[in-house]
């Protein structure tokens, strides 16, 4: 009977073991001194095992710690406990709700981890393991699959492992605190296989790879078609070719027979997508671009072949083929598709840029040791060390140290934000100056960056209402073009000049080929993709195409006062001393701050911070007393001090003199004045106020210059509200509005009749919490986020950076994108509306002008390229308030 | 007017009627989705030059699980969008991709590839 050394995993004979230990009713055997030493340091670690098979078969009682997530653990812990206890073999369950951890003691012979995990999941919890895909090179033998699976499963911390021989990948669910990727790789290597990064892990890279393959394929098809085209062109214009023009008709026909055969692979290899696509669409009773190309080139080829096989059927001189049309059109359209694909790749660069921001590794501190781990293995609750110049790997809260962090990549804010203990840091931002440690709060797909990426991707694939029109049009487009082609043929055949049949066929083929439904279909999605990506680059997350389209037409912007126009936090603004005061203003502030330091009033904080900003040293306070509704009294440095409102001063019969006048003017400015009396005599006033953000006035002016009416809404009293409004240049103020009435006020603005009966397009900007109903009521709700809080639900647009300038930029992005969409739609529409009649030969009676099908093919191919190229022009969009 | 000309005109009329009938007026095949053991309405859709099946009838308020398999490399169909449900998925060639959502409104909703060349319809009926 052999046993495993629990530390190194080596198989040893119990009797020849170097040492033996008893722990929690189990016996452990060791191969060497170092293994015993390691075990002795933390024996518990080796008892707790999550692996099910093989690790220590003799061990009957096992313990496992499982991180769980999903439901709130506090409320459902009893259900979870009873579900686990119901399993045969589970002896003890401990739920640690604060750490979201579950400790289970179980009999490894009766129950295994998979069953435990199953029980946890059955109640609706998730076991917070990580899942990783590892590629395995040259995995050929099916029997090795099981070996590798078993090896992985027996690795400590692995919950489940499956190996797929088809994809040559192992999918491993594991607890990252128990094992690391390198250990998993090692497990694969023990069977002689080489692990590699899984290919199916990065969807964006994969898409790029698919695009690259498709591009190569299309280019091959193009070059083939192009080479054949040259030869076919030579035979088609034999009159101009020295040697060919001397051939007689029979030899020429033979030559054309060769070209007929040569164009076949062009049609069925280079142009195979058109024919298979057309057939598939036909089966679905629908028609698209493929249908048109297939019909056009197919008709041309059939006619040409018929003409050289049975020349006598046709009048003299009309039996010449036009295989050149077939080859050249296919070559051009395929080239167009290739170019379009390339241009498309550029349009999605915003997402790539965002994903590229993600740090690859994190320096995690576990058990007092620093280790570099792939960012996927970082857990919530880990402490991570970040040095100057490094990227913050995931989201968290600083627990040690301070620094300045460059958040421009996410917020567009160019000034580094200073961060100290307790401040939040966001993954993908760059640490500038100091080193710090932070505790992770969000990892993986929960990080701000991952959420941003998800949101942007979803929005890029959403639909702008304007696209619905294009959709309806393109639903009827292709059959209409087919009908037009039929009647082009009929009219040319009936009233056209000689040779009628050739004219009729060429014009109808040209009609089929020049019509381009793709340009219409591409017009909106391409611009939307670039525009929404552009917004994201500037810290503006646009939820959907609809929001983007509506933002363009905004007529009224309603700004919430607190937290939107203002900082949302009171600050010390004025200190005024009375004439008879015995102290100067610094002294006054110092004494007041000393008292307020004890107080819990929100305004008190502002005074204390104000004093700290002036580097004043605070004094000891005695006999502190809060007088509800009035203020506070205390004793500082032997002086009796009173701080409070007018009521307090009147109650204490303090003569205020000119101070009363002063306080009124401060209140008119929207400030909150507090009187201070020292030893029964009025000493001065300290005023605090919620101050305006530095750039609010500038942003509001910019909005007004864009022709947008700016309205302020607030629950505050009218006097304060108007004082703030004056400062930022807002003339219309809705004050004393209860939070629940904000939505109503927005509605009133929407139906407020200005000139027309059409509703006004109203945007509401708020900080997202109490403004949620108003944000939802508004045509466009813009939430001002504070960086980490990106998942604000009620809003259509989220401004990551807390500045009103974002509102301006959001409207600018919207206007630029919508203009681009209009250009594309109008361009695509006019292309078809002008191109099709010309192709039908409308100009022929007047100018004798007819379009060659080959020109039509070129026009069609490049019209969709033009649309994509025009959308890409948006990438050069620069907002007025540039982030840099 | 020669007989041939009259024949061509008549053929034109017939073709027009045929095209209009075939693409617009003929009834389309519809696929009613069965409810699986798990309670979801599951359907597998092949993407190749079009969606097969392309008209899918489901019940309102019950989870719909659509598994797409794209069997072509053309970049046109690499994404499928359900704009009315704000759902979309990237469809790597040859891979099964499942989209799951619960339609909470009834009516006819289109789904399509990114540029609208391939189209299908999801008909949500009152349960």
Answer positive or negative: Cα dihedral of A603, A605, A608, A609.
negative
C-alpha distance across the termini of chain B, in Å = 61
Q: Packing angle between helix A696-705 and helix A805-840, nearest 10 degrees?
A: 30
Tokens matching residue A799? 């401004």
Torsion angle defined by CA atoms of residues A492, A496, A498 and A501, in that order, rounded to the nearest 10 degrees: 10
- Kindly report, residue by residue over A465-477, the tens digit of the pLDDT: 887 777 778 778 8
Which chain A residue's Cα is nearest to B72?
A273
Q: Would you give the distance in Å from CA A806 to the centre of its chain?
A: 17
Find where tokens 């699976």 sit: A149
CB pairs under 8 A between A and B: 113
Distances (CA, A) of A779 to A320, A415, A738: 63, 32, 21
Mutate to test the interface with B, among A204, A290, A483 (most CBs of B within 10 A): A483
| Residues A862-866: contacts with CB under 8 Å, at least 24 apart | A862/A336, A863/A516, A863/A518, A863/A519, A863/A827, A863/A828, A863/A831, A864/A336, A864/A340, A864/A516, A864/A518, A864/A519, A864/A522, A865/A336, A865/A339, A865/A340, A865/A343, A866/A519, A866/A827
- Given this model, what pLDDT does residue A791 score? 43
Q: How far apart are CA A239 and CA A755, in angstroms?
A: 70
- Residues in B touching A203 (Cβ below 8 Å): 90, 92
Distance from CA of B10 to the nearest CA of A (A): 9
Q: How far apart are CA A421 and CA A677, in angstroms?
A: 37
Q: How far apart are CA A559 and CA A711, in angstroms?
A: 6
Q: How far apart are CA A436 and CA B10, in angstroms?
A: 84
- A123-132, A448-457, A519-528 — which is least confidently predicted? A123-132
Spatial CB neighbours of B119, under 8 Å, sequence gap ≥ 6: A286, A475, B51, B54, B110, B111, B112
Tokens matching residue A281? 């669409």
Q: How far apart are CA B114 and CA A463, in angstroms?
A: 10
Q: How far apart are CA A628 and CA A674, in angstroms?
A: 14
Q: Which stretches of chain B score pLDDT less than 50?
A: none
- Given this model, what pLDDT does residue A57 score? 38
Q: Tell me, yes or no, if A107 is annotated catalytic.
A: no
Cβ proximity of A799 and A780 under 8 Å: no
Q: Given A279, A475, A493, which is nearest B8 (Cβ)?
A: A493
- Given this model, what pLDDT does residue A790 score? 44
3-state secondary structure of A688: strand
| A285/B22 Cβ within 8 A | yes
Percent of chain A with pLDDT over 70: 87
| Strands A130-136 and A11-12, sheet pairing | unpaired
- Residues in A touching B115 (Cβ below 8 Å): 518, 521-522, 525
**pTM listed for this prediction:** 0.71
- String of DSSP letters for A436-476: EEEEEEE-GGGSHHHHHHHHHHHHHTS--HHHHHHHHHHHH
Q: How far apart are CA A723 and CA A720, in angstroms?
A: 5
Stretch A823-833: mean pLDDT: 90
Interface of A with B in 441-470 (CB under 8 A): 457-458, 461-463, 470
Cβ proximity of A598 and A619 under 8 Å: no
Does the beta carbon of A283 lie under 8 angstroms from any beta carbon of chain B?
Answer: yes
Q: Write the DSSP symbol of residue A406.
A: E
- Given this model, what pLDDT does residue A316 score? 63
- A256-270, A752-766, B111-125 — which is least confidently predicted? A752-766
- Given this model, what pLDDT does residue A821 score? 92
Q: How far apart are CA A59 and CA A27, in angstroms?
A: 8
- A257 sits in the region (left: phi over 0; alpha: psi -120 to 50; else beta) called alpha
- Given this model, what pLDDT does residue A788 score? 42
Q: Is the pLDDT of residue A84 over 90?
A: no
Tokens matching residue A5? 């050394």
Q: How far apart are CA A338 and CA A584, in angstroms?
A: 77
- Kindly report, residue by residue over A512-560, the tens digit of the pLDDT: 989 888 788 778 888 888 898 888 888 888 888 888 999 998 999 999 8
- What is the overall mean pLDDT for chain A? 81
Spatial CB neighbours of B37, under 8 Å, sequence gap ≥ 6: none
- String of DSSP letters for A273-335: HHHHHHHHHHHTT---HHHHHHHHHHHHHHHHHHHHH-GGGSPTT-----HHHHHHHHHHHHH
- Kindly report, residue by residue over A129-156, the tens digit of the pLDDT: 666 777 777 776 767 777 788 888 877 7
- String of DSSP letters for A810-875: HHHHHHHHHHHHHHHHHHHHHHHHHHHHHHHTTTHHHH-----HHHHHHHHHHHHHHHHHHHHHGG
| A287/B73 Cβ within 8 A | no
């Amino acid at each position: 009977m052999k046993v495993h050394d629990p530390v190194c995993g080596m198989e040893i004979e119990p009797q020849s073991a170097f040492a033996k230990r008893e722990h929690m009713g189990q016996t452990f055997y060791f191969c060497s001194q170092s293994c015993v030493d390691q075990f002795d340091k933390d024996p518990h670690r080796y008892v707790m095992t999550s692996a099910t098979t093989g690790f220590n078969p003799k061990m009957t009682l096992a313990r496992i710690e499982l991180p769980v997530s999903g439901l709130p653990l506090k409320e459902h812990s009893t259900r979870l406990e009873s579900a686990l206890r119901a399993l045969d073999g589970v002896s003890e369950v401990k739920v640690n709700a604060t750490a979201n951890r579950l400790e289970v003691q179980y009999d490894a012979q009766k129950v295994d981890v998979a069953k435990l995990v199953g029980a946890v999941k059955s109640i609706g919890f998730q076991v917070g393991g990580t899942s990783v895909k590892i590629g395995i090179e040259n995995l050929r033998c099916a029997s090795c699959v099981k070996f590798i699976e078993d090896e992985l499963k027996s690795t400590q911390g692995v919950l489940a492992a499956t190996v797929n021989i088809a994809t040559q990948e192992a999918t491993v669910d594991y607890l990252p605190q128990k094992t690391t990727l390198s250990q998993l790789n090692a497990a694969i290597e023990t069977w002689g296989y080489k692990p590699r990064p899984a290919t199916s892990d990065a969807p964006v890279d994969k898409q790029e790879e698919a695009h690259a393959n498709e591009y190569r394929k299309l280019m091959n098809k193009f070059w083939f078609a192009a080479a054949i085209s040259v030869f076919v062109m030579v035979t088609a214009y034999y009159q101009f070719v020295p040697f060919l023009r001397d051939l007689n008709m029979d030899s020429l026909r033979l030559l054309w027979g060769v070209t007929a055969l040569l164009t076949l692979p062009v049609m069925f290899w280079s142009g195979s997508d058109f024919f298979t696509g057309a057939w598939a669409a036909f089966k679905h009773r629908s028609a698209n671009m493929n249908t048109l190309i297939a019909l056009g080139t197919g008709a041309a080829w059939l006619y040409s072949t018929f003409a050289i096989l049975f020349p006598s059927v046709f009048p003299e001189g009309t039996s010449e083929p036009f295989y050149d049309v077939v080859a050249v059109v296919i070559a051009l359209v395929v080239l167009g598709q290739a170019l379009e694909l390339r241009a498309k790749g550029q349009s999605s660069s915003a997402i790539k840029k965002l994903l590229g921001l993600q740090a690859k590794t994190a320096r995690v501190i576990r058990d007092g040791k620093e280790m570099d781990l792939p960012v996927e293995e970082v857990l919530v609750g880990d402490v991570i060390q970040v040095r100057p110049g490094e990227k913050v790997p995931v989201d968290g809260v600083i627990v040690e140290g301070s620094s300045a962090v460059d958040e421009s990549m996410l917020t567009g804010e160019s000034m580094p934000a200073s961060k100290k203990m307790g401040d939040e840091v966001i993954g993908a931002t760059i640490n500038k100056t100091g080193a710090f440690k932070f505790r992770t709060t969000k990892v993986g797909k929960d990080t701000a960056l991952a959420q941003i990426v998800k949101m942007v991707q979803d929005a890029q694939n959403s639909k702008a209402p304007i696209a619905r029109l294009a959709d309806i049009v393109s639903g009827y487009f292709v059959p209409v073009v087919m009908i037009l082609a039929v009647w082009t043929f009929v009219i040319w055949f009936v009233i056209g000049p000689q040779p009628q049949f050739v004219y009729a066929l060429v014009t109808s083929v040209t009609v089929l080929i020049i019509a381009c439904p793709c340009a219409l279909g591409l017009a909106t999605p391409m611009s939307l993709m670039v525009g929404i990506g552009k917004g994201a680059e500037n810290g503006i997350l646009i939820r959907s195409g609809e929001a983007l389209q509506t933002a363009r037409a905004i007529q009224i912007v309603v700004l919430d006062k607190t937290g939107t126009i203002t900082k949302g936090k009171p600050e010390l603004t004025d200190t005024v001393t009375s004439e008879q005061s015995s102290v100067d203003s610094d002294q006054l502030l110092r004494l007041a701050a000393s008292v307020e330091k004890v107080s819990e009033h929100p305004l008190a904080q502002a005074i204390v911070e104000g004093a700290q900003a002036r580097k004043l040293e605070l004094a000891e306070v005695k006999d502190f007393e809060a007088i509800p509704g009035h203020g506070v009294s205390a004793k500082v440095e032997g002086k009796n001090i009173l701080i409070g409102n007018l009521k307090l001063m009147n109650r204490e019969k303090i003569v205020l003199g000119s101070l009363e006048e002063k306080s009124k003017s401060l209140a008119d400015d929207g400030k909150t004045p507090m009187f201070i009396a020292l030893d029964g005599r009025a000493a001065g006033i300290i005023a605090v106020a919620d101050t305006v953000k530095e750039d609010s006035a500038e942003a509001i002016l910019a909005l007004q210059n864009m022709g947008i009416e700016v309205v302020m809404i607030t629950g505050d009293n009218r006097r304060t509200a108007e004082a703030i409004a004056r400062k930022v240049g807002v003339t219309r103020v809705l004050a004393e509005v209860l939070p629940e009435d904000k939505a109503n006020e927005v509605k009133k603005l929407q139906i407020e009749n200005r000139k027309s009966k059409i509703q006004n397009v109203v945007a509401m900007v708020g900080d997202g919490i109490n403004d949620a109903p108003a944000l939802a009521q508004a045509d466009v709700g813009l939430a001002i986020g504070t960086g980490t809080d990106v998942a604000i639900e009620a809003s259509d647009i989220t401004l990551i950076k807390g500045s009103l300038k974002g509102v301006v930029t959001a409207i600018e992005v919207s206007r630029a994108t919508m203009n681009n969409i209009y250009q594309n739609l109008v361009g695509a529409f006019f292309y078809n509306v002008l191109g099709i009649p010309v192709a039908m030969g409308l100009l022929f009676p007047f100018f004798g002008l007819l379009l060659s099908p080959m020109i039509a093919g070129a026009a069609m191919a490049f019209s969709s390229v033009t649309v994509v190229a025009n959308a890409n022009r948006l990438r050069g969009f620069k907002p007025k308030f540039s982030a840099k | 007017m020669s007989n041939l000309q009259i024949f061509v005109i008549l053929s034109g009329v017939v073709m027009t009627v045929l095209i209009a009938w075939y693409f617009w007026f003929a009834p389309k095949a519809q696929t009613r989705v069965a409810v699986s053991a798990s309670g979801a309405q599951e359907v597998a859709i092949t993407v190749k030059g079009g969606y097969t099946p392309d008209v899918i009838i489901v019940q309102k308020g019950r989870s719909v699980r659509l598994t797409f398999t794209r069997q072509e490399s053309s970049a046109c169909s690499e994404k499928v969008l359900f704009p009315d449900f704000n759902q979309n998925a990237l469809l790597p060639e040859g891979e099964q991709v499942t989209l799951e959502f619960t339609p909470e409104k009834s009516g006819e909703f289109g789904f399509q590839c990114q540029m609208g060349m391939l189209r299908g319809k999801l008909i949500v009926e009152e349960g």
